[in-house]
């Protein structure tokens, strides 16, 4: 007989097995914290018109140029798996006429995103983001509020001492001016630039600033600074953001080289990176995008937002705080109900239902054909401290037996009181 092929998950895409509870906790924390700031959840489709990202994120960006999962549907329309969430939210803002809602509109979202990147630790082809967007206020106080919210979320997840890298990429005029200056500065040093940077010198010189090549980094030490060419409006915007963040005790550092990899950014940009994840890995990033809605054919409406890489966030948390649960969550350990004998399964189900009705997590071992010893072993393997036993004697006497694995003791209790007794024992 032919051996049937077994399947594995697609390269760069993974099952969340051990991590899923931590993901759920992080998501719950995001929902709770973001709601406190007046944000509400939206869900956009996983597939969008390819052109949305070409125009929104930028043709010259790495994401659009190299990393999109694009395909033609049966009618020949070019569609793409979403590589990020801001352009889709901007599309939804226009599609649902959110400009007619009270401004600014505040939304958050979470879910899977797709980029065809070279997989490595913390870099996947399907990854998860939790993002938030504030659309309809030019800032700078909205910038501060958004960052304060983000840090509150990180704190509630359990992080301490994460530092935000902050910069301003200015308005399009400032950037054009700066690109010219940077090009002038780099031209005489073409020989020291790698192929990527040479290409960027033509398409988008700004992106050369976040090069990882040591020689290029050295060369950039002497380059003009973006903030030196900011117009006065962008400059004072940035000053207020910095001043107010300091007032709210936000730990930030101005990072002159921070430009971000998506083309829609204007003025405030930020990232949190962690060296423990590897030299170049940001756990989150964001910024202002005052021209995006107009670029997508809408009115001129400013926006700001961020996206957290959930996979990286969870793995960084585990790395920094081994053994600790995100958000300090301590899920209730289940009480195990073991019917002693096949004919007592019905009672087992009734008892577990009664526990659950009282909010107590319960698992019933229906496989009662096994000897009791096996049932108890199974309960132990599940990590249950408390086991409720019910068999012939208990049914006849209207009782149940409650066994405490930790102390090796057991007691017989009245069936009609057992839920209260279990509740008292497990919370003691
Ligand atoms: P981004 O910097 O491209 O920004 O992605 C945000 C975060 O997603 C990154 O900091 C990283 O943690 C995570 N991430 C990106 N690619 C991968 C990957 N291949 N594997 C694992 N994690 C990854 C955006 O997407 C913008 N939409 C953020 C934003 C919202 N700006 C304004 N509003």
Domain residue ranges in the chain: 20-171+231-326, 335-427
Over residues 145-193, the pLDDT tens digits come to: 999 999 999 999 999 989 899 999 999 999 999 999 999 999 999 999 9
> How much distance in Å is there from the Cα of 273 to the middle of ligand 1?
12
Cα 67-258-58 angle, rounded to 5 deg: 35
- For 20-171+231-326, give the CATH class: alpha beta
What are the tokens at 112?
Answer: 């899977």
Measuring CA to CA, how many Å separate 41 from each of 103, 107, 131, 271? Answer: 16, 6, 10, 23
Asked if the model's pLDDT at residue 267 lies above 70, the reply is: yes
Work out the average pLDDT over 225-249: 94
- Ligand 1, atom 32, lies closest to the CA of 305
Residue 38 — very low, low, confident or very high, per pLDDT cuts 50/70/90? very high
pLDDT in tens, 104-115: 999 999 999 999
pLDDT at 203: 85
DSSP SS3 for 115: coil
The string of DSSP letters for 299-351 reads ----EEEEEEEHHHHHHHHHHHSTTPPGGG--PPPPEEEEESSGGGHHHHHHH
CB-based burial of residue 2 (10 Å sphere; 0-12 exposed, 13-18 middle, 19+ buried)?
exposed
Q: Which atom of ligand 1 is nearest to the CA of 131?
A: 30
Task: Fill in the DSSP letter of residue 85.
Answer: S
* Spacing, Cα 260 to ligand 1 middle (Å): 10
* pLDDT computed for residue 380 by the predictor: 85
Q: Chain-centre distance of CA 199, in angstroms?
A: 32
From 12, 23, 129, 277, the mutation candidate for ligand 1 (largest count of ligand atoms within 8 A of CB) is: 129
Residue 251 in tokens: 């730990």
The protein residue whose alpha carbon is closest to atom 2 in ligand 1 is: 285
**In a 10 Å sphere around its CB, with 0-12 CB exposed, 13-18 middle and 19+ buried, how is residue 179 labelled?**
middle
Q: Which atom of ligand 1 is nearest to the CA of 124?
A: 20
Top pLDDT among 370 and 339 is at 339
pLDDT in tens, 84-105: 999 999 999 999 999 999 999 9
Return the residue whose CA atom lies nearest to atom 18 of ligand 1. Answer: 123
- Mean of the pLDDT values across residues 36-45? 98
pLDDT confidence of residue 279? 47
Atom 13, ligand 1: residue with shortest CA distance:
309
**309, 310, 316: residue to mutate for ligand 1 pocket, most atoms within 8 A of CB:** 309
Going by alpha carbons, the residue nearest to atom 20 of ligand 1 is 123
Instruction: State the distance from the centre of ligand 1 to the C-alpha of 122, rounded, in angstroms.
Output: 12
- pLDDT digits 0-9 by tens, 182-222: 999 999 999 999 998 999 898 888 889 888 889 999 999 99
Q: Is the pLDDT of residue 278 over 80?
A: no
Distance 89 CA to ligand 1 centre (A): 15
Please tell me the distance between residue 96's alpha carbon and the centre of ligand 1 in angstroms: 25
CA-nearest residue, atom 1 of ligand 1: 285
Q: Which atom of ligand 1 is nearest to the CA of 129?
A: 8
335-427 has which fold?
A: Rossmann fold (3.40.50)
How remote is the CA of residue 307 from the centroid of ligand 1, in Å?
A: 6
**Higher pLDDT among residues 261 and 44, named by residue:** 44
For residue 169, how many other CB atoms are within 10 A of its CB?
25
Q: Which residues line ligand 1 (CB under 6 A)?
A: 84-86, 115, 117, 122-124, 127, 129, 131, 133, 261-262, 282-287, 289, 305-307, 309, 311-312
């Amino acid at each position: 007989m032919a051996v049937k092929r077994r399947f594995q998950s697609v390269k760069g895409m993974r099952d969340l097995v051990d991590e899923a509870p931590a993901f759920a906790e992080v998501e719950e924390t995001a929902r709770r914290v973001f709601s406190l700031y007046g944000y509400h959840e939206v869900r956009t489709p996983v597939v969008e018109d390819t052109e949305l990202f070409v125009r929104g994120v930028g043709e010259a960006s790495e994401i659009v140029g190299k990393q999109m999962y694009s395909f033609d549907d049966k009618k020949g329309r070019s569609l793409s798996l979403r590589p990020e969430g801001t352009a889709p939210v901007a599309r939804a803002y226009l599609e649902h006429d959110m400009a007619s809602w009270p401004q600014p509109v505040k939304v958050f979202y979470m879910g899977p995103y797709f980029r065809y990147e070279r997989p490595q630790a913390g870099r996947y082809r399907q990854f998860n983001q939790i993002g938030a967007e504030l659309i309809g206020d030019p800032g700078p106080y909205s910038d501060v509020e958004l960052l304060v919210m983000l840090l509150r979320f990180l704190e509630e997840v359990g992080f301490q001492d994460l530092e935000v890298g902050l910069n301003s990429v200015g308005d399009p005029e400032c950037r054009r001016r700066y690109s010219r200056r940077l090009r002038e500065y780099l031209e005489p040093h073409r020989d020291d630039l790698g192929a990527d940077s040479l290409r960027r010198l033509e398409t988008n010189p700004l992106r050369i600033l976040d090069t990882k090549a040591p020689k290029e980094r050295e060369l950039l030490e002497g380059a003009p600074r973006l903030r030196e060419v900011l117009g006065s409006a962008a400059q004072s915007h940035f000053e207020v953001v910095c001043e107010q963040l300091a007032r709210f005790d936000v730990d930030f550092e101005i990072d002159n080289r921070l430009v971000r990899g998506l083309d829609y950014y204007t003025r405030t940009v930020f990232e949190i990176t962690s060296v423990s994840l590897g030299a170049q890995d940001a756990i989150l990033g964001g910024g202002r995008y005052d021209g995006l809605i107009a670029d997508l054919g809408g009115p001129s409406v400013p926006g700001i937002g961020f996206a957290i890489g959930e996979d990286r966030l969870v793995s960084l948390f585990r790395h920094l705080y081994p053994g600790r649960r995100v958000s300090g969550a301590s899920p209730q350990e289940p009480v195990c109900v073991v019917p002693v004998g096949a004919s007592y399964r019905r009672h087992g189900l009734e008892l577990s239902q009664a526990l659950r009705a009282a909010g107590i997590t319960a698992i019933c071992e229906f496989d009662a054909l096994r000897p009791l010893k096996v049932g108890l072993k199974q309960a132990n393997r599940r990590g249950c401290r408390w086991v409720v036993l019910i068999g012939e004697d208990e049914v006849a006497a209207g009782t149940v037996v409650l066994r405490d694995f930790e102390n090796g003791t057991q007691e017989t209790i009245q069936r009609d009181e057992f839920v209260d007794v279990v509740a008292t024992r497990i919370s003691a």
